[in-house]
Amino acid sequence: MNQWEVVIGIETHAQLATVSKIFSGASTAFGAAPNTQACAVDLALPGVLPVLNRQAVECAIRFGLAIGAHVAPKSVFARKNYFYPDLPKGYQISQFELPVVQGGAITVQVGSGDKAYEKTVNLTRAHLEEDAGKSLHEDFHGKSGIDLNRAGTPLLEIVTEPDMRSSDEAVAYARALHALVRWIGICDGNMQEGSFRCDANVSVRRPGAPFGTRREIKNLNSFRFLKEAIDYEVQWQINEIEEGRAIQQATVLFDPDSGETRTMRTKEDAHDYRYFPDPDLLPLAITDDWIARVKGELPELPVQKRQRFMDQFGLSAYDATTLTASQEIADFYEATVGVAGQGAAKPCANWVMVDLAARLNKDGLEIAQSPVSPQQLGGLVARIADNTISNNIAKKVFEALWNGEGASADEVIDKQGLKQITDSGAIEALVDEVLAANAANVAEYRAGKEKAFNALVGQVMKAAKGKANPQQVNELLKKKLEA
Amino acid sequence: MSLTPEQVKRIAHLARIEVSESEALTTQGHLNGIFELIEQMQAVDTTGVEPMAHAQDVSQRLRPDAVSEADRRAAYQAVAPETEAGLYLVPKVIE
């Protein structure tokens, strides 16, 4: 009876890509001097009124369409009441009973290689709201300093059902969501600047039992912290229960330094938000025409691109998912195939997913920063496809391109004399040489030792400085040995 | 439905309004009067009537996404009780 099932739901705050705030005309640019982008509306000076930003609504529509959700023709803004100095009105304008986006789902790939599997995470809702300002608690002689530049920045809060069953699934979902909001251009996804923040609701239960009591981990701003915080929290909850203590509903914070979660507030002192429709804002109407226009302007979505990669390039589901993990990867791959030719689509996939990914990872680079361009990589794959070079030599050429030792694969092959030897006369001469010099191996092979054959192949390749066509070497060697 | 003095005090606390015992009693009377009115309204049959989110049956006007507000920090901070390094200073509140 040592089995526990983990149940996770995630709420994400995605900062929407607008130039002005959701209810005021102040700028949303990051990094300005404190309070220089906080206007009378953001400061909640008496008599001001909110006016809704059309672009923020359009971002919500884009998102709703991208996840197959219902975009509400009528939604309502509500006041969420609480007193905190970074929220000068005494309430946050949010949506409660009638959110703009209802339902929808995102299918993600969890794990890699043979262990990879697909998981569909259902969304409850996504609603528009305003961000709060920032409080600085240090260095102000016992007072707090308030910067309201961020107050009123448009957010889309995206809420899932409690569908995830491990921290890996939670991270896979968060990564897919992060890629999607950037893909459709509604959020820059900058996690350091707080543009994409996750809260994880975590509970454990015996399989088949009702949901356990959940604790909410707030404000996780990296995928690593999301995973570490959930793993720690799950183990903590299991220990508590196994030691006979019940879990109390609570909001907790994750401390990346200690790797632990600690309670911020419990249910007893949970906020009583007293939501009610904001009388300053009329219901938001979204017409069918507007939805149709936004739909027409959407780019090819990850799920559509994935299907096309499978249909058009004959890729496996796993390859297609990996290559559509972000717009940048998908664009890089397609440009590579564009140069190498559609017949080389599968080797192009391998080069992008394996060799290039490993090299980028080694140098800590993103694909957009790759020193090897898709044109160069496509040119390289084309030379493997037409037998100019072998796969092994190709790795050398790739490294040369990475280090800027040539503008193209052709140039590197030319300059470094890496062109594959396919002239059977030349290869035959090398084979004869090796057979004459390695009588012992020849005898072993003829005595039935298959391994001796590989040793001979190695010798020929060595004599050819790796440039002989491996297939031809194999064939010629076999022919000669069996003659 | 009618409110107890404790409920009145809780509501006052949530709204950060300080009420004395006698004010709580007066307020209790006022609020219960409002509840009586609401009870009368609840007696009306509203079957099939779609609830309205606003007293006016019109929808929200939208503004284009453009920066229209210049930096007026100096003017706003001139009337603030206390500021430092561009920040508004307030009594310390930490959760």
- Cα-based distances in Å from A164 to A5, A24, A171, A174, A316: 10, 37, 10, 11, 25
CA quadruple A393, A395, A396, A397: dihedral, nearest 10: 90
From CA A43, how far away is CA A29, in angstroms rounded?
Answer: 17
From CA A177, how far away is CA A200, in angstroms rounded?
Answer: 14
Measured between CB atoms, which of B67, B91, B94 is closest to A19?
B67
Size of interface A-B (CB pairs under 8 A): 126
From CA A196, how far away is CA A226, in angstroms rounded?
Answer: 12
- For residue A125, list its beta bridge partners: A102, A159
**Intervals of chain A under pLDDT 50:** 1
Residue A2's pLDDT is what?
Answer: 62
Measured between CB atoms, which of B71, B76, B88 is closest to A146?
B88
Give CA angle at A306 (A300, A311), nearest 5°. 105
Q: Residue B73 and residue A285: Cβ atoms within 8 Å?
A: no
pTM of the model: 0.85
- For residue A196, list its beta bridge partners: A14
Q: Give the pairing type, strands A52-53 and B62-63.
A: parallel
From CA A40, how far away is CA A151, in angstroms rounded?
Answer: 11
Residue A96's pLDDT is what?
Answer: 95
Q: Which amino acid is at A294?
A: V
A62 neighbourhood in chain B, CB within 8 Å: none
- For residue A204, list its beta bridge partners: A6
Q: What is the DSSP string of A92-125?
A: EEEE-SS-SEE--EEEEEES-GGG-EEEEEEEEE
Mean per-residue pLDDT of chain B? 91
- The residues in A 136-165 lying below 8 A from B, measured between CB atoms, are 136-137, 140, 142-148
CB A135 within 8 A of CB A146: yes
B90 neighbourhood in chain A, CB within 8 Å: 85, 143-144, 146
Residue B95's pLDDT is what?
Answer: 56
Residue A1's pLDDT is what?
Answer: 46
Across chain A, how many H-helices and E-strands are there?
17, 18
Domain positions in chain B: 5-42
From CA A459, how far away is CA A468, in angstroms rounded?
Answer: 11
Residue of B nearest to A23 (CA): B63
Across chain B, how many H-helices and E-strands are there?
3, 3
Q: Tell me the three state secondary structure of residue A68.
A: coil
Q: What is the DSSP string of A25-37?
A: S-B--TTPSTTTT
Residue B26's pLDDT is what?
Answer: 94
**CA-based torsion, A281, A282, A283, A288: positive or negative:** negative
Tokens describing residue A296 = 């027409």
Q: Residue A143 and residue B69: Cβ atoms within 8 Å?
A: no
From CA A343, how far away is CA A325, in angstroms rounded?
Answer: 23
Q: Residue B58 and residue A282: Cβ atoms within 8 Å?
A: yes
A40 neighbourhood in chain B, CB within 8 Å: 69, 72, 76
Q: How many CA atoms lie within 13 A of A374 on its CB side?
A: 19
CB pairs under 8 A, 24+ apart, for A223-228? A223/A171, A223/A174, A223/A175, A223/A178, A225/A254, A225/A256, A226/A167, A226/A170, A226/A171, A226/A174, A226/A198, A226/A200, A227/A167, A227/A168, A227/A170, A227/A171, A228/A254, A228/A256, A228/A259
- The highest-level CATH class for domain B5-42 is mainly alpha
Domain positions in chain A: 5-292, 300-415, 424-481
CA distance B26 to chain A (A): 23
Quick one: which of A93, A476, A438, A72 has its CA closest to A276? Answer: A93
Rg (CA), chain B: 22
Q: How many CA atoms lie within 13 A of A239 on its CB side?
A: 6
Measured between CB atoms, which of A25, A264, A279 is closest to B68?
A25
The 10 Å CB-count burial string (b at 16+, else e) for A190-214 is ebeebbbbbbbbbbbbeeeeeebeb
Q: Residue A51 and residue B87: Cβ atoms within 8 Å?
A: no
Residue of A nearest to B86 (CA): A34
- The highest-level CATH class for domain A424-481 is mainly alpha
Reported as a single tens digit per residue, the pLDDT across A141-197 is: 889 999 999 999 999 999 999 999 999 999 999 999 999 999 999 999 999 999 999
Check if A219 contacts B (Cβ < 8 Å): no
A90 neighbourhood in chain B, CB within 8 Å: 16
- In the 8-state DSSP scheme, what is residue A164? B
From CA A81, how far away is CA A91, in angstroms rounded?
Answer: 4
Q: Residue A83 and residue B69: Cβ atoms within 8 Å?
A: no
- In the 8-state DSSP scheme, what is residue A152? T
